[in-house]
Amino acid sequence: MHDLDDLSPLLDALNPAQREAVCAPPGHTLVLAGAGSGKTRVLIHRIAYLMQACQVPAHAVLAVTFTNKAASEMRERLHKLSRLPIGGLWVGTFHGLAHRLLRLHWQEAQLPQGFQILDSDDQARALRRIIKNRSLDEKLWPAAKMQWYINQKKDEGLRPAQIDPGDNRHAQILWEIYEDYQQFCTRSGLVDFGELLLRTHELFKQQPALLAHYQQRFQHVLVDEFQDTNHIQYLWLRQLTGLQGAAFAVGDDDQLIYGWRGAKPGNLQQFQADFAPVQLVRLEQNYRSTGLILAAANALIHHNTARLGKTLWTSGAEGAPIGLYGARNEYDEARFITERIQAWVAQGCPYAECAVLYRSNAQSRVLEETLGAAKLPYRVYGGQRYFERAEIKDALAYLRLLANSDDDSAFERAVNTPTRGIGDTSLEQVRQLARKQGLSLWRASQHLLADNTLSARAGNALRRFLELILRLRQETAALSLSALTDQVLQQSGLLDFYRQKKGEKEQMRVENLEELVSATKQYQDDATDLSATLRAEGQTPLLAFLSNAALDAGDEQTPTNQDTVQLMTLHSAKGLEFPLVFLCGLEEQLFPHRMATQTEGGLEEERRLCYVGITRAMRQLYFSHAEVRRLHGTETYSRPSRFIQEIPSGLVEDVRLKTVAHAPYRPPAATLAHSTAEFHIGQHVSHPKFGEGVVLSGEGQGASARVEVNFGRQGVKWLVLAYANLQASPPRS
């Protein structure tokens, strides 16, 4: 043990409770840490403490975080704090770590070396295909539901063999689809998110020697955001900790927001029971938020039942009340936010201190429009991720095929994008043969070509496609990752395909594809720790890049260090903090979300989500809601969220816009006729030829403005206003 002087820089900055956690004796520890109580800080200091005071080598430490963002932040902070060599330290998400283990031990896990990760979009496509193959009605068996079922089973650690479908017909079909899907994955060398965890769990179960190796290596396993751990992750943790390892879990039951992914409120209690004896430490002092913000958070979360119970307090200032803005519509709301941010910046504070949080990704669009119009720099986290864009997925499909020709998911995607004369008819033949013989699409294609079963035209097209892939593989074998990507984009014709089109969207796609080449270039230059290790562990750059693309959906594409307003969902805001926070869209049906109110316990989870949002704020917090909002294409009126009512009114203050001078903002909207609102829906009109009718809907402006009119017996017609000579008429009695 070093003497205390060495440790003082490490421990001095901590409060007693934090120090207790950091210096907890060997054995299992559970830290119940409220929002803003220095959770991450404790975790990082704990690792440094283990290394400095207890002589624990870096390679004996495994730290699990919830997002990739959190993982890289932890590495960074650890490096700053201790300047110790942390090379052998494993930090990552459950999925990231499981993936790493599977890459290392692909043989023992019975996976092909080039196995690829299936994202949820690929998964949905695969399931749609399977449902079609079984000639089930897609209306009755929506892929999304099947996806949900399968993922849930995997999260519970269940294979088809371990599920008893019983004699319920519905359950049996679900079971069969799961079985089919699993076969598809195996045949194609594909692994979905849930599979990463389940497969690793089984790998450890089947290979005791391997497990023993890792148990011996990882003396300390630390888990952040423990409350959001699901069953399979929990099993994993227990397995890895074994009999000798020490688990150090940090969590807050009030911040459990991934119940829909299998996290259970009982997690923390379960940990105490299973890992007993557990040293319990509570962190209740909040260093982040003002007194008023904290009071609001406490009051809100108090409406939940079955909590472990914990009340945050602060010795800091009371701060300003929470501002509440009732907007007329979502544009008005965005304008309010814009204005407040401008005022904030006018005081000399950076944009980067401002965060706008919302319930669903779709809400970001209006905010982006408005912020952009006001020329405020912003950055959107999550949402349509870079690697999820259609054109990027197209390009990646080619890369995946290069890595593994049996990847059916990639095959389906690449084979006719850009169109090269391999239509659904020919493809169906390939699929049929593949199904009958249990082959991959690639192999089935080879067979069909060898047997000459296809028409000359289709056969040639297909042959050219296979040759293209083979040629690319050969020619690029010696090239760098970026040169390889460049070649693929050129030779596949993808780049030309989008270039030929004139639309603005297509231009964007071309730019995105070009960006992909520079992304690969950047990737090979300053690769992250994970990819560096992956490569050191014998992965080809291509494989490492593809895995990275699937697991870390390109959140770090744009540089983090720029001074921009931060836009993100409440879910992605977990673990972060900002001086100025806007919580917008606080309306019934949106937040709490309609979908959540229909599930058991859904409302409480929404409330916890709101709690997470509130506790992100350090100095100033604003709530906003809109009377009317365009949601899924239709105008929706809604009441302010119940969460607003649940906060004592003394903590909240109504705010108004300072500049009310100009007319209320009107979204670029839907007036029906070419001359302003000549006709409205439900209006009675008369037409020289068709007679009397009622306006059903309308679209377009100026010369192309049209209305849809129901003329009763004459039927429903679309009429161009410029020609139709429609007259407004009084309703018939």
Positions touching DNA (CB under 7 A) are: 66-68, 93-96, 119-120, 128, 139, 142, 144, 193-194, 257, 260-261, 359-362, 365, 382, 416, 419-426, 457-458, 461, 551, 553, 555, 569, 571-572, 593, 595-596, 599, 602, 630, 632-633
Distance CA 443, CA 321 (A): 66
| Half-sphere CA count of 276, side-chain side, radius 13 A | 5
Pair of tokens at residue 557: 């594409």
Contact 305, 605 (CB under 8 A): no
Instruction: Classify residue 725 as left (phi > 0), alpha (psi -120 to 50) or beta.
Output: left
Whether the CA torsion 170, 171, 173, 178 is positive or negative: it is positive
Sorted by sequence, the CB contacts under 8 Å of residue 98 that are 6+ apart come out as 196, 197, 199, 200, 236
Contact 398, 363 (CB under 8 A): no
Give the bridge partners for 30, in sequence order. 249, 280
Distance of closest approach, residue 514 Cβ to DNA, in angstroms: 21
Is the CB of 274 or the CB of 555 nearer to DNA?
555
Is the CB of 32 or the CB of 98 nearer to DNA?
98
Is the CB of 322 or the CB of 707 nearer to DNA?
707
Is the CB of 219 or the CB of 426 nearer to DNA?
426
Distance of closest approach, residue 632 Cβ to DNA, in angstroms: 3
Is the CB of 525 or the CB of 600 nearer to DNA?
600
Is the CB of 451 or the CB of 600 nearer to DNA?
600
Q: Residue 551 class from Cβ within 10 Å (0-12 exposed, 13-18 middle, 19+ buried)?
A: buried
Radius of gyration of the chain (CA): 29
Distance of closest approach, residue 599 Cβ to DNA, in angstroms: 6
Distance CA 464, CA 493 (A): 13
Is the CB of 51 or the CB of 256 nearer to DNA?
256
Is the CB of 257 or the CB of 583 nearer to DNA?
257
Closest CA to 263 of 346, 342, 190, 155: 155
Whose structure tokens read 């402006």? 701
| N-terminal to C-terminal alpha carbon distance within the chain | 96
Distance CA 504, CA 17 (A): 57
Distance CA 106, CA 115 (A): 8
Pair of tokens at residue 248: 């150090």
CA dihedral 117, 119, 121, 122 (to 10 degrees): 10
Distance of closest approach, residue 113 Cβ to DNA, in angstroms: 22
Distance CA 401, CA 2 (A): 54
Is the CB of 129 or the CB of 619 nearer to DNA?
129
Contact 709, 725 (CB under 8 A): no
Distance of closest approach, residue 375 Cβ to DNA, in angstroms: 22
Distance of closest approach, residue 708 Cβ to DNA, in angstroms: 10
Distance of closest approach, residue 106 Cβ to DNA, in angstroms: 19
Distance of closest approach, residue 668 Cβ to DNA, in angstroms: 10
DSSP codes of every residue in 127-189: HHHHHHHTT--TTTS-HHHHHHHHHHHHHTT--GGG---TT-HHHHHHHHHHHHHHHHHHHHT
Distance CA 686, CA 690 (A): 8
Beta strands 354-358 and 565-569 are: parallel
Distance of closest approach, residue 194 Cβ to DNA, in angstroms: 7
What single letter denotes the amino acid at residue 608?
A: R
Which of the residues are catalytic? Answer: 39-40, 224-225, 255, 616
Is the CB of 633 or the CB of 730 nearer to DNA?
633
Distance CA 440, CA 188 (A): 6
Distance of closest approach, residue 612 Cβ to DNA, in angstroms: 11
Distance CA 90, CA 585 (A): 39
In which element (H, E) is residue 478 found? none
Is the CB of 110 or the CB of 120 nearer to DNA?
120
Distance of closest approach, residue 94 Cβ to DNA, in angstroms: 7
Residue 544 per-residue DSSP state: H
Give the bridge partners for 542, in sequence order. none
DSSP codes of every residue in 319-374: -PPEEEEEESSHHHHHHHHHHHHHHHHHTT--GGGEEEEESSGGGHHHHHHHHHHT
